[in-house]
Amino acid sequence: MKNIVKKTISQMFSPSDSEAILQEAKKQIIRELDVPSRRLFLQRGLTLGGVAMLTGCDISDNASVESALGKISGFNDRVQGWLFGSTRLAPVYPESMMTRPFPFNAFYAEDDAPEVDGTAYRLKIAGLALDKREWSLPTLYKMAQVSQVTRHICVEGWSAIGKWGGVPFGDFLRLIGADLTAEYVSFKCADEYYTSIDMATALHPQTLLALTYDGQILPRKYGFPMKLRMPTKLGYKNPKHIEVIEITNKFTGGYWEDQGYNWFGGS
């Protein structure tokens, strides 16, 4: 495997880039590890690309390192995409194993979570879909729903088990006539968060447009009026307070991804 990875990397990078990576990566990563919220991300996220680069490396601070690490992150996205399977399911658990209370987590304090008016709320659809009507909560609540008890894994190193209910996202995409050959689905949220996922993950049978938590209307702190729940992704890939869903071939990144987090974010 190590030789395969090295061969793949050598095909991706020019000799000068490869040398820059080998010369630069370790000190840069040490510098990044000083940021607590990125420690586990780097340990998890670099995976094959990072491990290959770290073996026997010495690095100084150099302008080329950001480009080099960007290429590693892109390589890591592709590896995770290759490994992802639409039939591979994340583990499910009995309700007796649920974490109570389920922890709040966001880039702001719990009291600062947005207060969305459910009566006025309308989910907007954009991009490559035939049906772009807006969706009210009563209409969404009438749709056939499923529930799952799965583990939320945070990039910061903790995890928690919760019960989420909602509409299988693949069913919703088919209902609105989304172009299922499009590359991405992106999300804009009431808390100014945004992210995007690949279409294969959007169609995964465990990806839910979550409307409830533990059998009750989704609480504000967990993402009211809806969140995307994906047990195959790390927590930061699961957007809350969703206002706009766009089907697109344009890469739109994400709130944390644009700050250096791995885009694919598989758990």
Which pLDDT band, with edges at 50, 70 and 90, does 6 fall under?
A: very low
Residue whose C-alpha is closest to residue 129's, from 172, 178, 173: 178
pLDDT of the residue at 267: 75
pLDDT in tens, 136-145: 999 999 999 9
Q: Is the pLDDT of residue 49 over 50?
A: no
CA distance 227 to 237: 11
**Residue 187 in tokens:** 């999300």
> CA geometry: angle at 263 spanning 257 and 267, to 5°?
115
Which pLDDT band, with edges at 50, 70 and 90, does 56 fall under?
A: very low
pTM of the model: 0.72
pLDDT in tens, 18-38: 555 555 544 444 444 444 444
CA distance 116 to 213: 17
Q: Is the pLDDT of residue 223 over 60?
A: yes
CA distance 231 to 161: 10
**Residue 124 in tokens:** 């907007």
What percentage of residues in the chain have a pLDDT greater than 90?
Answer: 66
pLDDT of the residue at 88: 85
> CA geometry: angle at 59 spanning 54 and 65, to 5°?
90
